[in-house]
Amino acid sequence: MDVRYTVGKNEYKRMTTQELRSAFLNTSLYQPGRINLMYCEVERGIVGFAVPTGKAIALPAGKELASEYFCERRELGVLNVGGEGVVTVDGVKYVLRPLDVLYVGKGAKKVAFSSRSARKPAAFYLASYPAHREYPTKLVKFEDANHRHLGRVEDCNVRTIHQFILPGKCDSCQLVMGFTRLEPGSNWNTMPAHTHERRTEMYMYFDIDDDATVFHFMGTGDETRHLAMHDHDVVISPMWSIHAGVGTRAYTFCWAMGGENQVFDDMDGIAVAELR
Q: Is 210 exposed, middle or buried (0-12, 13-18, 19+ CB in 10 A)?
A: exposed
| d(C-alpha 155, C-alpha 272), whole Å | 12
pLDDT of residue 147: 98
Nearest residue to 247 via CA among 217, 204, 215: 215
Query: Domain residue spans in the chain?
Result: 2-274
| d(C-alpha 37, C-alpha 32), whole Å | 14
pLDDT digits (tens), the chain, 276 positions: 999 998 999 999 999 999 999 999 999 999 999 999 999 988 899 999 999 999 999 999 988 999 999 999 999 999 999 999 999 999 999 999 999 999 999 999 999 999 999 899 999 999 999 999 999 999 999 999 999 999 999 999 999 999 999 999 999 999 999 999 999 999 999 888 888 888 889 999 999 999 999 999 999 999 999 999 999 999 999 999 999 999 999 999 999 999 887 887 878 889 989 989
| Backbone torsions φ then ψ of 121, nearest 5 degrees | -70, 155
pLDDT of residue 155: 94
pLDDT of residue 194: 85
Q: What is the dotted CATH code of the domain comprising 2-274? A: 2.60.120.10
> Residue-wise over 52-72: b if at least 16 C-beta within 10 A, else e?
bbeeebebebeeebeeebbbe
Query: Which pTM was predicted?
Result: 0.96
